[in-house]
Amino acid sequence: MPEAFGAALAVPGLPFLIAVYLAAGLVRGFTGFGTALIVMPVATRALPPVEALVVLTLADIATWGTLGPRAVRQADLPEVGILSAAAVLAAPLGVALLAVLDPIPIRWGIAGVASVTLIALLSGWRYHGTVTRPGLAGIGAAAGGLGGLTGLAGPPVMLFYLAGTAGAARVRANTILFLMVLDIGVLGTLLLRDMISGRALALSLLVAVPYVLALLIGQRLFTPTRERFYRWLAYAIIALSILAGLPLFDS
C-alpha cells in the first residue's frame, strides 16, 4: 500500500484534482448532482478513463453515510427503483466498452455529453407529460450505460428530473439515491473485471476526505428557497470543468 500511495502522490496535477473534488463536493452537497460532470472532464486529463471512473466511484461511496439517510426519507422509492434497476443492468456494457476504447475519443465523448447536458439545463426546457414505467426503465438504462462508459450517469436522469416540475428537495433526494444504487452496480462490475488498481484505491482515499468535507458544507448551505442560485452556481462550475478538461488544451 505505501507504493500505491507513492504512485498516487506522483500523479501530475494532483493538487488541482483535489481542488476539483472540493468544488464537486460543494455542488453535490447543495444540489444532489454534478460530481461526475465536474470531475470527469478534468480527471481524464491526469488519469486513464478507467482509473478516473474507479476513483470517482470509490470517492462517491464515501458520501453514502452523509447523503443517504435524508435521501431515503424524501425520495420516491418506486420511481428510483425502476431507474436504478435498469441502470445497474446496463452499466456493465458501458464498462466493457471503456476497457477497450481509446482514451481520447472517450474524453471528447465526456466533454460532449457534459456540454449537451449543460446546454439543455440552461435552456430551461420543461416536460409536463407523464413518463411511463418503460420510459423510466429506458432513462435508467441510458444512464447506466453512459455511466459505465464515461462516468456520467447523471445526465439522462438529471434532464428527466430538472425538465420536470418536481420540487428541488424531491429531485435532489431521487438523484442522490439513484446514484448511490448505481455506484454499487459499477463497483461490482469493476471488481469482477479486476479493474481497481492500488494507485486508484489510494487516489480515491486522497480525494475522498476533501470531497466529503466540502459536501458537508454544501449540504448545510442547501435551502430550497434559493434553488435558482444553486442551479446557476452549479452550471458555472460545470462549464469551467468542461473547458478545463478539453483535449485541445493538453500540453
Name the DSSP letter for residue 225: G
Q: How far apart are CA 3 and CA 81, in angstroms?
A: 40
Q: C-alpha grid cell for residue 28?
A: 453535490
Q: In this predicted structure, what is the pLDDT of residue 176? A: 84
Does the pLDDT at position 86 exceed 90?
yes
Range name among 84-93, 158-167, 200-209, 235-244 with the lowest pLDDT average: 158-167
Q: How far apart are CA 185 and CA 140, in angstroms?
A: 12
Q: C-alpha grid cell for residue 249?
A: 488544451
Buried b (16+ CB within 10 A) or exposed e, 153-177: bbbbbbbbbbebeeebbbbbbbbbb
Does the pLDDT at position 205 exceed 90?
yes
Does the pLDDT at position 191 exceed 80?
yes
Confidence tier at 122 by pLDDT (50, 70, 90): confident
* Residue 161 CB contacts under 8 Å (≥ 6 apart), including other chains: 171, 174, 175
Q: How far apart are CA 242 and CA 34, in angstroms?
A: 12
Range name among 40-44, 67-71, 171-175, 247-251 with the lowest pLDDT average: 247-251
The residue extents of the domains of the chain are 2-249
Confidence tier at 136 by pLDDT (50, 70, 90): confident
Q: In this predicted structure, what is the pLDDT of residue 15? A: 92
Mean pLDDT of 185-193: 90
Does the pLDDT at position 237 exceed 90?
no
Range name among 97-101, 180-184, 212-216, 247-251 with the lowest pLDDT average: 247-251
Does the pLDDT at position 229 exceed 90?
no
CB 27 within 8 A of CB 37: no
Q: Could you tell me the pTM of the whole model? A: 0.82
Q: How far apart are CA 154 and CA 140, in angstroms?
A: 10
Does the pLDDT at position 129 exceed 90?
no
pLDDT per residue as tens digits for the range 105-117: 888 888 888 788 7
Q: In this predicted structure, what is the pLDDT of residue 130? A: 66
Cβ-in-10-Å burial (0-12, 13-18, 19+) of 21 comes to: buried
